[in-house]
Amino acid sequence: MNKTISLLTALSLILTAIIQSCSNPTKNVQNNIFEGNAEVIVSGIAYLGDIEQYRKETAESIESYCQHIAALKSGIDGEKDCGNQYNYRHSIFLLELYNSYMKKKLDDYKPEGQESWKIFKKEFTHQMDDLNKEFADFEETIQKAMPDRQYY
C-alpha cells in the first residue's frame, strides 16, 4: 500500500510537471500573432514617419529652390546682352520646370509599401541631387560671365 501511494504520488507529480510544461498551443499562436502584428504596426509607423520627414525636408529644399529661382530671375533683368539674357532666362525656366516636376512628383507619391518607398526615395534623392547640380552649374556659368553680381 505504501508503495502504491508513493507510486501514485510520483506519477501525479510527473503528470503535473508534464501538463504544466506543455503550454496551450492556441495561446502561443495568439501571442505570436499579436507580437507579429505589433512588429508590423511599429515598422509601419516608422515607415510612415520616414515618409513624412522626407517630404518635409524635401519640400523645404524645393521651396528654397523656388526662392533661388526668383532671385535669379530678378538678377538677370540687369543683363545688357539680350542673347545672354535669353539664354539665362531659358536656363532658369528649365530649372523652374524641373523643380516644379519634383514638387509634383513628391506631392503625388502615395505610400504603397516599404519596398516601393525605398525605391522611390532612392530615385527621388538621385533626381534632387541632379537638380542641385544643375543649379550649381548654372550659378557657376553666371559667376564666370558676371563675376561682380550676386544673385542668391
Report the half-sphere exposure of 79 (CA within 13 A, side-chain side): 22
In this predicted structure, what is the pLDDT of residue 141? Answer: 86
Least Cα distance to 149 among 130, 43, 141 occurs for 141
**Along the 152 residues of the chain, how does pLDDT read in single tens digits?**
555 555 556 555 565 655 655 555 555 555 555 555 555 565 567 778 899 999 999 999 999 999 999 988 887 776 677 777 888 899 999 999 999 999 999 999 998 888 999 999 999 999 999 999 999 999 888 888 776 666 54
| Nearby residues of 145 by Cβ (< 8 Å), 6 or more positions away | 84
Least Cα distance to 66 among 102, 99, 93 occurs for 99
Q: Which three cell numbers stand for residue 96?
A: 523652374
In this predicted structure, what is the pLDDT of residue 73? Answer: 85
In this predicted structure, what is the pLDDT of residue 23? Answer: 54
d(CA 139, CA 145) in angstroms, rounded, equals 10
- Identify whether the C-beta of residue 84 lies closer than 8 Å to the C-beta of residue 142: no
Cut 0.75: pTM above it: no
- Identify whether the C-beta of residue 59 lies closer than 8 Å to the C-beta of residue 105: no
**Percent helix / strand / coil, the chain, rounded to 5:** 85, 0, 15
In this predicted structure, what is the pLDDT of residue 85? Answer: 80
